[in-house]
Structures are given as C-alpha cells and as structure tokens.
Amino acid sequence: MNQLSTANYATDVGQHKSATAHSSRGELVVKGVATTMAAALVIETGKGVMTTLAKHPLLLLGLGISAGFLTHKYRKEIILITSKTASQSKDFVLRQQENLKDLIAESQEDTAK
C-alpha cells in the first residue's frame, strides 16, 4: 500500500512548480475566507486594546514616549530602509512600464499581421 501511494504522488519538479502556480478556485476561496477571518480578529482585538488605552491615559503616554524613543534611536536605520524601499519601488514601476510598453508593441505587431 505504501509503495502504491508513493508511486501515485511522485511528480517531476517542473510539473510541481506549474501545478502550484495555478491555484484552484476552491483554494482561492479558502484563502480569502481565512484572510477575512484573520482581519476580523485583528480588528476586534484592536478595538479592545484601544478601549483599554483610552481608559488608561498614563499607559498611552508611556507607549507614546517609548515609541518616540525607539524611533529616535533607530532613525538612521528607518531612513535607510525607507530610502531603499523608495528606490526599489521606483525600479519596480519602471520595469512594469517597460513590460507594458513591450506588451503594447507586441499586440500592435500582432494586429498589423
């Protein structure tokens, strides 16, 4: 029995990659439902935390001071990461524009033929 199940599930790596690239419709629905449930849980938890913080202003002040301290302490790293992310996003947009131009040119060539 074990040999039969192993033989049935043995696949080529290339086939496995193409199979995982295209998810079934059911998997997409399940992922959407799971994401929605997680978002709802975070929202409900956040409401409880904000209610608690609103009732304890000293706790809120302490969190603000600690957030400000950490932001000041790691400001150079934050600026570095932000500038790096901004440059990567610019590169991404430029690549997507080039890809779009290529696709438009190909479609115009196909329609011209």
pLDDT in tens, 20-75: 445 677 787 888 888 888 888 888 888 887 788 788 889 889 989 999 999 999 99
* 65-85 b/e (C-beta count within 10 Å ≥ 16 → b): eeeeeeeeeeeeeeeeeeeee
pLDDT band at 6 (very low <50, low <70, confident <90, very high): very low
Q: Structure pTM?
A: 0.44
Both tokens of 55, joined, read: 């009732």
Query: In sequence order, what are the residues at sequence separation of 6 or more whose Cβ sits closer than 8 angstroms to the Cβ of residue 95?
Result: none
Both tokens of 33, joined, read: 């439902």
> Directed axis angle between helix 75-112 and helix 57-73, to 10°?
80
Q: For position 85, what pLDDT does the model report? A: 93
Question: At which residue do the structure tokens 């033929």 appear?
Answer: 113
Residue 94: closest CA among 84, 106, 102: 102
Q: For position 15, what pLDDT does the model report? A: 47
- Domain limits of the chain? 74-113
Q: pLDDT digits over 71-105, tens only?
A: 999 999 999 999 999 999 999 999 999 999 999 99
